[in-house]
């Protein structure tokens, strides 16, 4: 994974927009329940929302768009729902990879995706290879991702490097930890958005969120669109980011 070329969108008032936006896509089930529909219909509508934000992101100056697609905790859901989600992911990748490539979108993945089914892993790796040279947008899917799991995996790798003499434990700094995370080739998220009115990160990018701006919106994910993304970017532009300084 690598970042797209530096490119900034100037918002109203001269503020610079976010380079990296990460979204916790929440509310598919509630969207379906309110309409007396099966949960799978909410997830299908959620895929339509993914298409909308991927299309809109580059025009808002977003270089990296990370979507929390399937968490390491989602395996605890009923087996039939997990099966539906895996089927939707397979369908999305099979149908969209060529379209993403045609639009200059690079596909990247964070998370322990190798533990997904063999056919999904093959599709994912095919998509990443096909689109690796694209620079209009880096679409990052968080698959079988959990921030605590990511940090544990990074800690094990750091410990192994220290045992092998490649790292001096007394000299480990934050940048060293960064280099072992799934996001090591990405800029840190400037803005993390969660839909559906829930106000928590749910084990998403806990290390990377250190200085990210957080935005929690009531909109259910299937209803999220280009206007909602633009509003989130505009909200970010009004924030005063001091990184601990005055």
Residues contributing to the annotated binding site for Mg(2+): 26, 213
Quick one: angle between helices 39-56 and 226-237, nearest 10? 60
Annotated binding site: 26-31, 39, 43, 71-73, 75, 77, 194, 200-202, 213
Q: How far is CA 8 from the centre of its chain?
A: 19
Instruction: Please indicate whether residue 26 is annotated as part of the active site.
Output: yes
Instruction: Please indicate whether residue 203 is annotated as part of the active site.
Output: no
Q: Is 25 helix (H, G, I), strand (E, B) or coil?
A: coil
CA angle 184, 123, 177 (to 5 degrees): 15
CA distance 63 to 79: 35
Catalytic residue among 59, 74, 119, 190: 74
Catalytic residue among 26, 138, 182, 190: 26
Annotated binding site for substrate: 27-31, 39, 43, 71-73, 75, 77, 194, 200-202
The contacts of residue 218 (CB under 8 Å, 6+ apart) are 195, 196, 197
CA separation, residue 239 to residues 6, 35, 50, 137, 204 (Å): 21, 36, 25, 24, 22
Q: Active-site residues: which are they?
A: 26, 74
């Amino acid at each position: 994974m690598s970042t797209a070329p530096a490119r900034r969108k100037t918002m109203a008032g001269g503020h610079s927009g976010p380079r990296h936006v990460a979204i916790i896509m929440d509310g598919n089930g509630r969207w379906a329940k309110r309409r007396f529909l099966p949960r799978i219909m909410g997830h299908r509508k959620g895929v339509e929302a993914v298409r909308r934000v991927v299309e809109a992101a580059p025009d808002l100056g977003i270089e990296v768009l990370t979507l929390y697609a399937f968490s390491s905790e989602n395996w605890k859901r009923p087996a039939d729902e997990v099966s539906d989600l895996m089927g939707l992911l397979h369908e999305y990748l099979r149908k969209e990879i060529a379209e993403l490539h045609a639009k200059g979108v690079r596909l990247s993945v964070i998370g322990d995706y190798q533990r997904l089914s063999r056919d999904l892993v093959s599709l994912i790796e095919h998509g990443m290879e096909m689109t690796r040279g694209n620079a209009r947008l880096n679409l990052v899917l968080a698959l079988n991702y959990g921030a605590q799991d990511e940090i544990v995996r990074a800690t094990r790798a750091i410990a192994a490097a220290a045992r092998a003499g490649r790292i001096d434990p007394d000299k480990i700094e934050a940048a060293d930890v960064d280099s072992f995370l799934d996001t090591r080739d990405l800029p840190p998220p400037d803005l993390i958005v969660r839909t559906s009115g829930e106000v928590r990160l749910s084990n998403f990018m806990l290390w990377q969120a250190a200085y990210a701006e957080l935005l929690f919106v009531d909109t259910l994910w299937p209803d999220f669109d280009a206007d909602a993304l633009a509003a989130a970017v505009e909200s970010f532009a009004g924030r005063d980011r001091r990184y601990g300084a005055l």
